[in-house]
Structure 1
Amino acid sequence: MEGPRMSAERAPSPTRWWTLGIVALGTFMLMLDLSVVAVALPDIHESLRSSFADLQWVFDAYALTLAIFLVAAGSLADRHGRKKVFQVGFAVFTIASLACGLAGDATALSAFRAIQGVGAAIMFAVGPAMLSHEFHGKERATAFTVFGAAVGLAVATGPLIGGSLTSSLSWRWIFYFNVPIGVIALLIGIFRVRESMNRRAHPTDWPGLVTFSIALGALVFATIRAPEEGWTSAFTLTLYAASIGFLGLFLAIERRMGERAMFDLAFFRNPTFVGISLVAMIGNAGALPSIFFETSYLQNMLGMDAWEAGLRFLPLTIAMFVTGAISGSLIGKVPFRILLGTAPAVMATGLLFLNMTKADSAWTVLVPAFVIAGFGMGIFNPARAAVAVEVAEPAKSGVASGINETFQQVGIAVGIAGVGAFFQNRVADSFTNSEVGGQLGHDKADEAAQAISSGSLEAVAQEGGGAMRDQMLSAGQDAYMAAFHSAMNVCAALGFIAALIGFLVIRTKDLHRSAMPDIRPTTDRVTAV
């Protein structure tokens, strides 16, 4: 049980490095499963005959439940034991991974991905709180450096690992891959990780959890379905109205429950807590969709298979790995507002270089974007994880971490849905308004545009036959590239907005007084490195 600076808690634990290893491994696996599926999507599309919306759900079903259950997981862990809850999350994640690999259709895959996201939410929320409990002072900075590196490395290596498994075995192995690792990690956790908890933590806010789930689910579902149903259709508008209504109900419940709320609104009186939440949400709304579409470009425009596409992400991987390590060492020496303002700005600058791409470019045209954006993503992760925990008192670190991770996953879920819908609309507009689109007629052109968005350009061109084939291929490529450039510019704009918030809102002096003794809470000046 946590108390006011109990000597037993402050004494270094002999098993703390095992805790770091398990948390870093779990975090690597759960973040890997956000990006590893990217290069497998064409194979999933062909194997399960899935639509573009189905492919979005493979991402968003996971990100959605990740976002929904993060805060509840942090609260449960604080109350019932962080080790115990973390182990349950790891077990759910491992079993659901096996089920994903066995899925027989796109609906089943998305359903199992949602369950997998629940397990991931538990690990992601509880992991930083476990590190905060086990490590103090300079060692805590080291722990969060490793944690941030695990996040960055997973996002960066996801396409490479996914491509290797998909090309050498099948797309199902990107999920089977988790099973033996999960079993080994669970066994280590049983014997080598110590328990910590806060019995004074409040019980789970179930009314808040339900209303928040419905609000977020309706928002994402409406955004994914809107390109097919119509943005002003009764179906879409009803879902958006339901999302707004349940969000309002959620906020009313949280206000009434006070400190017992799923989202303790008192946290939001701290400007830095608001700032890191917004930076995490908006920055990730631009970052993860960019990887989704960069992978699509490599495979659907440049004709690479999963392994070849994954291999091309090595510049991003290396850049993220190197800067992740450097960023962790700067914690306590460089103000957080500098780190968390610079990171999304650098990422956004890199994404602008994607406007250089063409349908027949050499893949090396992506290298500047990969390297520069990778630098930004690598800087971001360790600093974000540290601020998310250090902005609250230790007894509430699990809840604070969970709220921040929720904002991050909301950004990913809404970003993929929103940028994906924008991309789909741009393809449809460009293709239907082309000369070939006019010859096909609106309905057939729109159907072809949906197929182009899903990665079936060659099949669309083949259906044209004869002289029409080359015209359809050219129009399809033009539509895809116009949409790709526009979507990446949207991602860059989101990055610049996140950077502005980071520079203006995040302040070191807002951190809790227990946060990293080597950080001076009253100044935001840069100290010598």
Structure 2
Amino acid sequence: MDGPHRSPCNEGQVQAAPPPTQALSASRKRWILVATVLGSSLTFIDGSALGVALPAIQRDLGAGPAAVQWVSNAYLLTLGALVLTGGAAGDRFGRRKIFLIGVVVFALASLACGLAPTVELLIGGRALQGIGAALLTPGALAVIGATFPPEERGKAFGTWAGAGALFGMVGPLIGGWLADQADWRFIFWINLPLAALTIAVTLKAVPESRDDDARGLDWIGALLAVAGLAALTWALTAAPDLGWTSPAIIAGMAGGVVMLVGFLISQARQSHPMMPLTLFRSAVFSGVNLLTLLLYFALGGAMFFLPFDLIRVQGFSATMAGAAMLPFAVVMGLFSGVAGRLADLFGARLSLSLGPILSGIGLALLAWPGPGAGYVDGPLAGMTMLAIGMTLAVGPLTATVMGAVQPSHTGVASGVNNAVARVAGLLAVALLGVILSAVFVSQADSSDARALLGQVMAGGDLDSAATDAFHTAFRVVILTCAACAVLAGVIGALTAPGKFQTAE
């Protein structure tokens, strides 16, 4: 899922010195902020709403387990691999222009998703949405950075992040209600009026800005990253159906690894790489990005598979499943500022060790309820604990990443960290899907357990044995997520700076 786990505090990159802003009135700046919030709301609402609608999408389009994973993976793949290129394109060609292109691409892709008659076309539309998001998300932050002077940027970014938390809060409820009462396709169609309003406000209020010193784009790196991640993810997702010894799977995994190694080589040789490897000379930067990989792997995997368990095993409606996500959004939205002040007071190490460990405990609690549990004795405690842990970790994580590099590299450092978080979600859905399938097949009493798994996830009328097998598999997946989160906390304790240390 690309929803609740997406923190507005950890999106994109902001680079380059802003142009003079003295001529912009306070009213004009407010309208510029409105434009960036509206544009970003496309990704915030869409991502958080889609997760609880995935079971309905799988049922209506007759998709198997691998195909429904790609509904999420296609978006995460293009977003994670291209977000750094999107930020650099804004610096070179104009931040407003790239932001608008991203909004248009996202809107057209949303229209395609809403009209998709097959899951294959929906997957294609989701990949196109990811390209749009990779342009508009860093573009929105870059527009804010270029508009507001340093003394006003904190408040502007805080307003943007707060709006993101609000949209993330209502997204699951919207998605669940539409899946239950209307049509999941409206999740995509509501993006069209939002995009039109964003374009109108942007053309009216947002001035163009660019970085005159920006150089060429790293297209080779972008293509290698997309191709390598796509091949590896496809192989992991298709392996349960085709078998690990299938020539196609072996070729996919080998090709993916080769292209990702080629990506690293290209980054070492490029004069202007999308991911400068020199950043990883900092032990803090490397450690916190490893923490990010594990923590967002845990969160992304849990949030993808949780709605299936709530709806298919616990008997929740899609609306109720969306409501189960509310504690996450409420705690994140209300207490992120408090968590930031705690990190300032006690140092990032405490937050980046305690936060992931509490998240791990919350994830483990989500595995505790048996079939048929209600809301209070079901996901409430786990989601609340998970929210507290993530709230403690997210803000200090971003600040630590940016503080681990030279000031001139803070934009690309933030962008790299955001890309790591997105790729972590991509790998989580693929790898944890393998675990879910393997455990289900071992538990199910069926000659075609993979087909039975698809029927369970799509809401078929099945016996309790199949449902119990799915719940057992879900528990293994969620406990794996919990272990990854706790390991992230251990890494935070070992690598994050303490109260009296600098990040460098």
TM-score norm. by structure 1 comes to 0.84
Q: Which of 180, 186, 189 lines up with 2:202 in the alignment?
A: 189
Q: Does structure 2 conserve the Cα–Cα contact (< 8 Å) formed by 1:354 and 1:369?
A: yes
Aligned-partner Cα distance in 2 for 1:286–1:356? 17
SS at match of 1:88: helix
2:481 aligned partner: 491
Q: Which of 262, 266, 282 lines up with 1:253 in the alignment?
A: 266
Q: Does structure 2 conserve the Cα–Cα contact (< 8 Å) formed by 1:41 and 1:55?
A: yes
Q: Does structure 1 conserve the Cα–Cα contact (< 8 Å) formed by 2:315 and 2:372?
A: no
1:512 aligned partner: none
Q: Which of 49, 59, 64 lines up with 1:36 in the alignment?
A: 49
Aligned-partner Cα distance in 2 for 1:478–1:302? 11
1:477 aligned partner: 467
The farther-off stretch of 72-81 and 25-34 is: 25-34
- The one-letter code of the counterpart of 1:293 is F
SS at match of 1:273: helix
1:357 aligned partner: 369
- The one-letter code of the counterpart of 1:201 is A
Aligned-partner Cα distance in 1 for 2:346–2:142? 23
Partner deviation per Cα, 1:108-159 (whole Å, 9 max, x = no partner): 0000010011011112233333444444656443344344444544444432
Q: Does structure 1 conserve the Cα–Cα contact (< 8 Å) formed by 2:19 and 2:147?
A: no
Q: Does structure 2 conserve the Cα–Cα contact (< 8 Å) formed by 1:132 and 1:389?
A: no
Q: Which of 275, 279, 302 lines up with 2:291 in the alignment?
A: 279
User: Residue 234 in 1 paired to residue 234 in 2?
Assistant: no
Partner deviation per Cα, 1:22-71 (whole Å, 9 max, x = no partner): 33443343133233212212221222111111111111111111111111
User: Residue 310 in 1 paired to residue 300 in 2?
Assistant: no
Aligned-partner Cα distance in 1 for 2:88–2:263? 17
Q: Which of 280, 292, 299 lines up with 1:268 in the alignment?
A: 280
User: Residue 122 in 1 paired to residue 123 in 2?
Assistant: no
2:386 aligned partner: 373
Instruction: Tell me by how many angstroms 1:7 deviates.
Output: 8.8
Instruction: Tell me by how many angstroms 1:497 deviates.
Output: 2.1
Aligned-partner Cα distance in 2 for 1:132–1:337? 28
1:455 aligned partner: 458
Aligned-partner Cα distance in 1 for 2:374–2:148? 47
**Rg (Cα) greater in structure:** 1
Partner deviation per Cα, 1:251-277 (whole Å, 9 max, x = no partner): 11111114x112122222233332343
- The one-letter code of the counterpart of 2:258 is G
Q: Which of 97, 118, 124 lines up with 1:84 in the alignment?
A: 97
- The one-letter code of the counterpart of 2:482 is A
Q: Does structure 1 conserve the Cα–Cα contact (< 8 Å) formed by 2:71 and 2:123?
A: yes
Aligned pairs (5 A) from 1:315-464: 315-328=327-340, 332-333=344-345, 335-364=347-376, 365-388=378-401, 396-431=409-444, 437=445, 440=446, 443-452=447-456, 454-458=457-461, 461=462
Aligned-partner Cα distance in 1 for 2:343–2:140? 19
Aligned-partner Cα distance in 2 for 1:79–1:398? 14
Identical-residue share of aligned pairs (%) = 30
User: Residue 172 in 1 paired to residue 185 in 2?
Assistant: yes
CA change 1:491–1:78 in 2 (3 A) is: same
Instruction: Tell me by how many angstroms 1:281 deviates.
Output: 2.4
- Aligned pair count reads 488
1:468 aligned partner: none
CA change 1:277–1:21 in 2 (3 A) is: farther
Instruction: Tell me by how many angstroms 1:483 deviates.
Output: 0.8
Partner deviation per Cα, 1:446-505 (whole Å, 9 max, x = no partner): 4324433x23452xx3xxxxxxxxxxx232122111111111111111211222233332
Q: Does structure 1 conserve the Cα–Cα contact (< 8 Å) formed by 2:17 and 2:146?
A: no
Aligned pairs (5 A) from 1:55-70: 55-70=68-83
Partner deviation per Cα, 1:296-335 (whole Å, 9 max, x = no partner): 1121012232223222333333222222343355575553
Q: Does structure 1 conserve the Cα–Cα contact (< 8 Å) formed by 2:78 and 2:134?
A: yes
- The one-letter code of the counterpart of 1:33 is D
Aligned-partner Cα distance in 1 for 2:250–2:121? 27
- RMSD of aligned C-alpha atoms? 2.8
1:504 aligned partner: 494
CA change 1:495–1:381 in 2 (3 A) is: same
Q: Does structure 1 conserve the Cα–Cα contact (< 8 Å) formed by 2:440 and 2:472?
A: yes
Instruction: Tell me by how many angstroms 1:160 deviates.
Output: 1.3
CA change 1:485–1:24 in 2 (3 A) is: same
TM-score norm. by structure 2 comes to 0.88
Instruction: Tell me by how many angstroms 1:418 deviates.
Output: 1.2
Instruction: Tell me by how many angstroms 1:398 deviates.
Output: 4.4
SS at match of 1:50: coil
Q: Which of 57, 60, 75 lines up with 1:47 in the alignment?
A: 60
Partner deviation per Cα, 1:375-418 (whole Å, 9 max, x = no partner): 22333444444455555566655433332221111011111111
Instruction: Tell me by how many angstroms 1:162 deviates.
Output: 0.5
- The one-letter code of the counterpart of 1:77 is G
